[in-house]
Amino acid sequence: MQIALLKAFNKRKNLRATDAYRLCNGIADGLNGLVIDKYSNHYQIQFFTPEFSKFETEIIEFLKEVFNPEFIAVKYRFIDYKQIKKAFGDNSKTIVCENNIKFSVDLLDTLNPGLFLDMRDARLFFAKNCANRDVLNLFAYTCSFALYARKHKAAKAVNVDISKKNLNKGKENYLLNEIEQVQGEFFCGSAEEYIDWAIKKGKKFGAIAIDPPSFAKNSKETFSLAKDFSNLAEKAVKILENNGVLLLATNYSKWSCETLLKTAKNSFSANGKTFKLLKKGTQGLDFPGSGESKESCMNYVVLFC
């Protein structure tokens, strides 16, 4: 066990852009169902299968030996994601730095600590195409795409999310990075609700990021990626400026970059537009074996109109 863990840790030792990354990615590191993430000096262990959960104590002790962590959280994803055990330390909150951008995370707040590590490369590439543009960040979560965009000289970044709590975390991240809020940058509501309003008002954006969950439900409606993504993408293209940039991303294990490109082709065609593919990609170097398991599957495409 320790040899396999050390081998996994050593694969990531040359990561320089961030102090938050995946240390062990399950089957790709020879440890099926075991995922370990590092957030500064806080660590999260997730068991997606029971196979290695019996080694929980050994894994925790090895993390202590190698990293001297301030905090460790353990989550049992094969039982019930709410079953979270605080294994070591008192303060579950910390601040991480990714490409010189700060994020507040909390390993015991919800299932997700506040930053999706596998989207790092997509965030950076998208942001480098956002200078002087108005950006629309749909399914904003804690506003990571907007933070990147604003740090790369975007004029404005509208964050849309159904969760007020998530948007408040996004505002906290703005403060951490000394980014001054522009009026109208935070909208609590559904992505479709905001796009419908933008279409009605004739509002356009120079860059749009769409990174939805596979499934989301609020008091008004339910979003299903498989059912609703195509229609949402088509509407988004309608409010995308000429020479605009569109990012489409998903962690839905049944979809690939080719699926996203097919969705894009249909969406642009329906609006009488064409696009150029700027980049397609998947998870970063700390996620070897991307797509080999449901817990490690993400694809994205960035398009130019």
| CATH topology classification for 117-304 | Rossmann fold (3.40.50)
What gap in Å lies between CA 142 and CA 157, rounded to an integer? 13
Return the percent helix, strand and coil in the chain, to nearest 5: 35, 30, 35
Q: Are 147 and 181 in contact (CB under 8 A)?
A: no
Q: What backbone torsions phi and psi does residue 172 show, to the nearest 5 degrees? A: -60, -40
What gap in Å lies between CA 96 and CA 141, rounded to an integer? 17
pLDDT for res 211: 96
Task: Tell how many helices (H) and how many strands (E) occur in the chain.
Answer: 8, 16
Q: Are 42 and 71 in contact (CB under 8 A)?
A: yes
Nearest CA-CA partner of 179 in 154, 150, 152: 150
pLDDT for res 16: 86
Residue 253, both tokens = 């294990």
**DSSP type of residue 296:** B
**DSSP type of residue 33:** T
Nearest CA-CA partner of 184 in 155, 210, 158: 158
Q: What is the 3-state secondary structure (H, E, C) of 183-244?
A: CCCEEECCHHHHHHHHHHHCCCEEEEEECCCCEEECCCCEEEHHHHHHHHHHHHHHCEEEEE
Among 3.40.50.300, 3.30.565.10, 1.10.3720.10, 3.30.750.80, name the CATH number for the domain at 2-106.
3.30.750.80
Residue 62, both tokens = 């090895």
Per-residue pLDDT of the chain (305 residues; tens, 9 = 90+): 899 999 999 999 888 899 999 999 999 999 999 999 999 999 999 999 999 999 999 999 999 999 999 999 999 988 875 667 788 999 999 999 999 999 999 999 988 999 999 999 999 999 999 999 999 999 999 999 999 999 999 999 999 999 999 999 999 999 999 999 999 999 999 999 999 999 999 999 999 999 998 877 766 677 888 889 999 999 999 999 999 999 999 999 999 999 999 999 999 999 999 999 999 999 999 999 998 888 899 999 999 99
Q: Are 212 and 139 in contact (CB under 8 A)?
A: yes
Q: What backbone torsions phi and psi does residue 14 show, to the nearest 5 degrees? A: -100, 10
What gap in Å lies between CA 157 and CA 154, rounded to an integer? 7
Q: In terms of C-beta density within 10 A (0-12 exposed, 13-18 middle, 19 or more buried), how is residue 152 classed?
A: buried
Residue 25, both tokens = 């990615």
Examine domains 2-106 and 117-304 and report if their fold is the same.
no
End-to-end CA gap in the chain: 49
What gap in Å lies between CA 70 and CA 166, rounded to an integer? 25
**DSSP type of residue 164:** H
What gap in Å lies between CA 53 and CA 59, rounded to an integer? 9
Place of tokens 């000096």: 41
Domain ranges of the chain: 2-106, 117-304
What gap in Å lies between CA 217 and CA 222, rounded to an integer? 4
Nearest CA-CA partner of 283 in 123, 46, 98, 138: 123
pTM for this entry:
0.95
- Which element (helix H / strand E) includes 56? helix 56-67
